[in-house]
Chains A and B, each alone.
Chain A
């Protein structure tokens, strides 16, 4: 177990594993997303109150779920970095933050497109929408902090602290719809079951799975790039490129 963990946080080993598994994971994720979204858009039944417009959940829910999960994993990485100074943790954070920002934006955008016909407005300052906007701002702050000019180690330290502090926002997003009156409805899928009809739920779950596979694949690829940037002068990197020739 300990050996496995040590290998996972070693740059050359991770690089090799990612290099081999990326194409499969990427193709798999694209096919699962296509299956879920096309099934949802063309073959699942029409919702009785919302009509066709409900089909946007096949993008909205997976995007929102991924956007929050990325931040959860970044919080774990930030603690790991702050205590053990594991460089892989900071590579992970810098690689995932832009993905988090993109998917948060996608969640907000698809939500607005759905809200306009359904609620009668594309944006309100209720607790769920506002806390999600704060998540987007947090991601953008983390990205800009990473690109600031300073010693690598002090940037990584500062980012980890910001990520950890921003973690406060996560339970607020999750519980906003339970604790307060919001325009956004409460969760349809919970641990105790789902209030979405099965015919609509199955393609949604497939789509969610596809989105998770996609961020895993792209996240691994981005981590490879970040590792190369940091280790460019190391022998193991040179060896890889010599092998290529």
Chain B
């Protein structure tokens, strides 16, 4: 009985050990390609990412939004606070799209003119939840 249980303990611990190794490999492999989006610094860096469709994410830079009056064309700058990239988009913007808030654009980055041609814009929400009244009070204080 004793040895039987010891064998089981050995079985379970070797299973857990091999799972930890598997976990490490999975995470290392995913680090290469699991990122949902690139940052502007990734694109303006030296490594050229040539993909027909990719996503960039960051904050919408302040005072950078130009919305055309008679069409659905929009340009704005996406920034990661180090580098920024101009994004061109034609279509309807999500409700949460605004200055200084998170945005993810899917499309094609043209290295020749440095403009990101977006086919889809998603708004990224951050982890902060603030009531309207509190926000007003904060703005009034500062």
Residues of A within 8 A of B (CB): 44-51, 54, 57, 79, 82-85, 117-121, 124, 126-127, 161, 164-165, 167-168, 171-172, 179-183, 185-188, 195-197, 199-201
Is the pair B130, A172 in contact by a Cβ cutoff of 8 Å?
no
Does B69 count as interface, using CB distance less than 8 angstroms? Answer: no
Q: Establish whether residues A164 and B16, one from each chain, have CB atoms under 8 Å apart when the complex forms.
A: yes
Q: Are B123 and A119 in contact (CB under 8 A)?
A: yes
Bound state CA distance, A185 and B123, in angstroms?
11
Residue of A whose beta carbon sits closest to that of B128: A195
A50 to B132, CA, bound (A): 10
Q: Which residues of B contact A (CB under 8 A)?
A: 5, 8-9, 11-12, 15-16, 19, 22-23, 26-27, 30-31, 34-39, 57, 94-96, 101, 104, 120-135
Task: Chain A residues near B129: list those with CB within 8 A.
Answer: 47, 50, 54, 57, 188, 195-197, 200-201
* 30 pairs, A vs B, C-beta closer than 8 Å: A47-B129, A47-B130, A47-B131, A47-B132, A48-B134, A49-B96, A49-B130, A83-B12, A119-B96, A119-B123, A120-B94, A121-B122, A124-B122, A161-B15, A165-B15, A165-B19, A168-B19, A168-B22, A168-B23, A179-B27, A180-B30, A181-B36, A183-B124, A185-B124, A185-B125, A185-B127, A195-B129, A196-B128, A196-B129, A200-B129
Instruction: Name the B residues within 8 Å of A127 (CB-CB).
Output: 30, 34, 36
Specify which of A48, A57, A121 is in contact with B132 (CB 8 Å cutoff).
A48
> Quick one: given A120-B94, A197-B130, are A180 and B125 in contact (CB under 8 Å)?
no
Please name all residues of chain A whose beta carbon is closer than 8 Å to the beta carbon of B135 when the two chains form the complex: 48
Report yes or no: A48 in contact with B130, Cβ–Cβ below 8 A: yes
CB-CB under 8 A for A82 and B128, given A124-B122, A168-B26? no
